[in-house]
Structure 1
Amino acid sequence: MVSHDELSLLRERHPAWRLLRADNAPLIIGFLGRVFVDDNVRAITQVELVSHLDDELYALREQLGERAYPKSATAYVNDWAGPDSGWLRLHYLEGSDEPYVDATPALEKAVAWVASLQERAFVATESRLHTLLGLLRQIVQGSDTDPERRLQLLRAERDRLDAEIARAESGQIDVLDPTGQRDRYQQFASTARELLSDFREVEVKFRALDRQMRETIAGWDGSKGELLDQLLGDRNAIADSDQGRSFQAFYDFLLSAERQDELGELLDEVHHLESIVADDRVRRIDRDWLLAADRTQATVRTLSDQLRRFLDDSVWLENRRVVELLRSIESSSVALRDTRPTLTMELDATRPEVALPFERPLYAPPAQAHIDSTVEAADEAAETTALFTVDHVDQHRLVSQVRAALRHRAQVSLGELVEEHPPEHGLAEVMAWFALDDDGIDLVFDDDSRQQLAWTADDDTQRRADVPTLLYVRHDQDSRPPRTPPSGGSS
């Protein structure tokens, strides 16, 4: 039993308990539970969540008065995602600069506890008893190492199946009554929802490992091999734990095409029964399981991505150090090029000397020579900073310029766009125009004609580029290029 001190600590620090004590608990549990738990949403943009909450607040203020919930929707979302609350998690997905929001396991626990307070049509007891007996039977039979006892159990199961087959052949089929069907359906729906909430908790544990890995890499000053040994050991400890093995077994089960087909057919048959009140969420629970498991696996994949990124950064730094050493050696060689050494040769004697064997001294081990391989740095170090400078071209700005140009025109050429918006990053920005990718815009190349692009660089020099004719066309227009290039920049 939990002690009084532990309960007091949980009451103060656990996010789920803090949520139940919050003044806005009805709004938080009702709104976030409907968005994230009922619809099984694993990631939603912050802008979209704020928009939904704004509609919810408007409806509540119409019902409760203007003074109800005085803050803005953005302020509420930021408060719920803050460290003092811990009910939402703000993060960025790979390749996106827009923040996304996800629910935490604490929110799911609070929502599940509040849902358990509602009165149910009936309490399922028979199905739970059968489930418990089945689990006990699996434990006992699975841990029994006696072959004779295992054979007795298998023969008894075979006799039971033979008897059931005989009754079915004679027309006697045992059918569950409607109460038994609803009983087992309620038990299945409850367990299926609990399984979805377990995925969030497993994902949180993997994210904690990823955060620990990043902190270790950031403060590491030892060798690369020792760091990899430590990181791979932590990763294997998670994968080999009971939780990791159980999740991997469940994920492998879901990935089986045969199991997926069987699960889908069973769900369809169950929801066609007249005694079952269909639940849309339970009807698509197999897809929700796959989505939640894939999100958890994606979190695991970030661990491997973090290791690969660490190795790539290490190789980049080592290559940069090699380049600096080569430049230093070259500078030293140039400085010593004109220094010519004086070659001399000395002879010990003009005639050979005779030495008798017994006059030779005994063997003495040679002294170890000390070699100094240090290379003095050159007076002038090579400047390599410019090699690692990278200009970033904002493609969102280019797409906005194309959309603005197509607002009143059906198509626009690259020459017109460069004339209206001179490149800020030179030829790199010109090449970025050829790689634009947007759902509402088509890129049409005309290799039969050329365009002359002209702009002024940062040093006030005139730049020109001869490129194929490129047109940007809206989707609702014919994407074939015209035979005559448009005016403004074509030649």
Structure 2
Amino acid sequence: MSTVSTARTARRLAGEHPAWMLLRSAHAAAAVTLLGRHLAGGTRRLPETELVERLEDDIAELRRQGFTLPHSAGPQVSEWLRDGVLVRRPTVRADGGTGPEQLELSDGALAAITFVAGLTDPHPVATPTRLSIVLKTVRDVADAVEPDPESRLAALRAERARLDAEIDRVRRGAAAPLDPAGVAERVREVLALADGVPADLLRVRAALTSTDAELRRGLTESGPARDAFVDDVFRGVDHLAETPAGRNLTEFRAVLDAGEHDATAHVTRLLQAPGAAAELTPAEVAALRRLVADLRSATDDATGTLTALRRALQRAARSGDLPQEQALAGLLREAEATALELADEVPPHAPTRLTLKLGAVAPASPAGIRPHDPADDRPAPLVRPRAATTDAPTDLAALRALARSAEIDEDELRGNVNDVVARRGGATVGEVLRAHPATQGLASVVGLLSLAERHGRRDGGTEDITWSGARGSLRRARVPRHRFEEPVP
């Protein structure tokens, strides 16, 4: 890459990369400290309100010590969100669904905090332990790819001879030479390597989120590409898991699942080794104790993000309503903007003069409500059109009858009640049915009873009512007696 290209890339990163923007901000020293304290330790994610509350006290204390900071944490958190230092992540519930959003550090912000931590507490530039780890890794990789069978056999025989000598020494009861300082140094190397895992998984999650956004943009455009993607979803193809980031996460989780139990036992043995724990600081001992738990937590968070994105993408692809949903969201945003503009002119209690017709039957108990389950991503049955048997025009009367069968005609029932009340001065449900038969059968009866409960008066006792069923058969029921004494509005 040429000097000009490198400089242009650096200039672009300086203006958009969260790590660079955080380190060159006006409050970089305090920001790195505050974010590292609340989101880079044992707690990796917090609700926005809780994070603001925790920052308020720290900001006040730093201002008393001479730091120039905003008076409130809310605007500062908003600025970090705008710059990409903080990102919003939905909470993944145990059932796989998503809950309220929380804030966490972006991968760039975590890299900046780690960089500053390395400046304040630098690791030794070179140690024999680190060098031995590097050389051993190079040797293992070279042995694994050795094409010459004789050379590979020679390496395996040498390793077997070393293991045989170690087995013989243990059988003879000879104590293993223990170098507490060397063990502690190797533990520090492990902790240094493990410290970068959360940042790596954050980059994996950022890559998955970016891929998800690209796939969603493809859903909004009609064409062969979108049709092929929808077909893949119905065939069970997981595009997110097939990306490099998705495969990396799957393999990482498989390695952790296979070695988690053994790793926990190994950590216990290290902490119990004579003199080894004494060479470590209390912070290093604590980090070693929670090493496996931290790796599991970071992995579960990344896996939860992948699961939530996968399910949301499947629902969007199977519903086929993504463009309509985006259009509806745009209309809602426009309405919200208009409401904010009129907030200073229109009082909250001003009547809107708008009404919305609802069904005549209200659920009488929670059992009558069937809430929508967002986690139910099963596709709807495929609707297959049936070829017309004749070329006869559509029967408008049949369409009207079909529409009436799907909803109680409350306007008709209200007119029937008002007609009888105007002629008689009052009427019961039975008298209304005798004057105006139930054109919708049982639905008309239920609609009249609903109107009576809302606009009539309980008259005591019961009355018998009759109506014709769907096939013309006479139906009879005994219902509580209600009386309409005035027209129904």
Same fold (TM over 0.5): yes
2:69 partner SS: coil
> Structure 1 463/6 Cα, relative in aligned 2: closer, same or farther at 3 Å?
farther
Please tell me the root mean square deviation across aligned C-alpha atoms, in Å: 3.9
Gaps of 5+ in 2: 321-376, 408-448, 459-489
Amino acid at match of 2:264: G
Contact persistence 2:86–2:104 (CA under 8 A): yes
> Structure 1 243/92 Cα, relative in aligned 2: closer, same or farther at 3 Å?
closer
2:104 partner SS: strand
Corresponding position of 2:308: 302
1:274 partner SS: helix
2:177 partner SS: coil
Matches within 5 A, 1:217-256: 217-220=219-222, 225-229=227-231, 239-240=241-242, 243-256=245-258
2:280 partner SS: coil
1:35 partner SS: helix
Alpha-carbon offset, residue 158 of structure 1: 1.0
Answering whether residue 290 of structure 2 is matched by residue 290 of structure 1, we say no
Contact persistence 2:205–2:302 (CA under 8 A): yes
Per-residue Cα deviation, 1:275-332 (whole angstroms, up to 9, x for no partner): 222422332121111111111112222343135413652599987977xx78x98xxx
Answering whether residue 12 of structure 2 is matched by residue 9 of structure 1, we say yes
> Structure 1 245/319 Cα, relative in aligned 2: closer, same or farther at 3 Å?
closer
Alpha-carbon offset, residue 73 of structure 1: 1.4
Answering whether residue 278 of structure 2 is matched by residue 274 of structure 1, we say yes
**1: distance between equivalents of 2:57 and 2:406?**
52
**1: distance between equivalents of 2:18 and 2:308?**
26
Amino acid at match of 1:75: P
Corresponding position of 1:101: 103
TM-score with structure 1 setting the length: 0.60
Aligned with residue 192 of structure 1, among 172, 191, 194: 194
> Structure 1 221/120 Cα, relative in aligned 2: closer, same or farther at 3 Å?
closer
Contact persistence 1:128–1:187 (CA under 8 A): yes
- In the alignment of these two chains, the number of paired residues is 346
More helix by share: 2
**2: distance between equivalents of 1:162 and 1:19?**
55
> Structure 1 237/385 Cα, relative in aligned 2: closer, same or farther at 3 Å?
farther
Gaps of 5+ in 1: 334-372, 389-454, 465-491
Matches within 5 A, 1:4-403: 4-41=7-44, 43-64=45-66, 68-82=68-82, 85-93=83-91, 98-120=100-122, 122-123=124-125, 125-170=127-172, 172-220=174-222, 225-229=227-231, 239-240=241-242, 243-256=245-258, 259-272=259-272, 273-278=277-282, 279=284, 280-310=286-316, 312-314=318-320, 377=394, 379=396
Alpha-carbon offset, residue 228 of structure 1: 2.5
1:109 partner SS: helix
**1: distance between equivalents of 2:101 and 2:245?**
30
1:74 partner SS: helix
Alpha-carbon offset, residue 8 of structure 1: 2.1
Alpha-carbon offset, residue 76 of structure 1: 1.2
Contact persistence 2:233–2:317 (CA under 8 A): no
2:138 partner SS: helix
Alpha-carbon offset, residue 75 of structure 1: 1.3
TM-score with structure 2 setting the length: 0.61
- Percent sequence identity over matched residues? 25
Amino acid at match of 1:131: I
1:304 partner SS: helix
Contact persistence 1:127–1:184 (CA under 8 A): yes
Amino acid at match of 2:81: A
Matches within 5 A, 1:417-432: none
> Structure 1 222/374 Cα, relative in aligned 2: closer, same or farther at 3 Å?
farther
**2: distance between equivalents of 1:270 and 1:220?**
59
Contact persistence 2:48–2:102 (CA under 8 A): yes
Contact persistence 1:19–1:25 (CA under 8 A): yes
**2: distance between equivalents of 1:197 and 1:290?**
14
Per-residue Cα deviation, 1:189-213 (whole angstroms, up to 9, x for no partner): 1101101211111111111122222
**2: distance between equivalents of 1:105 and 1:126?**
31
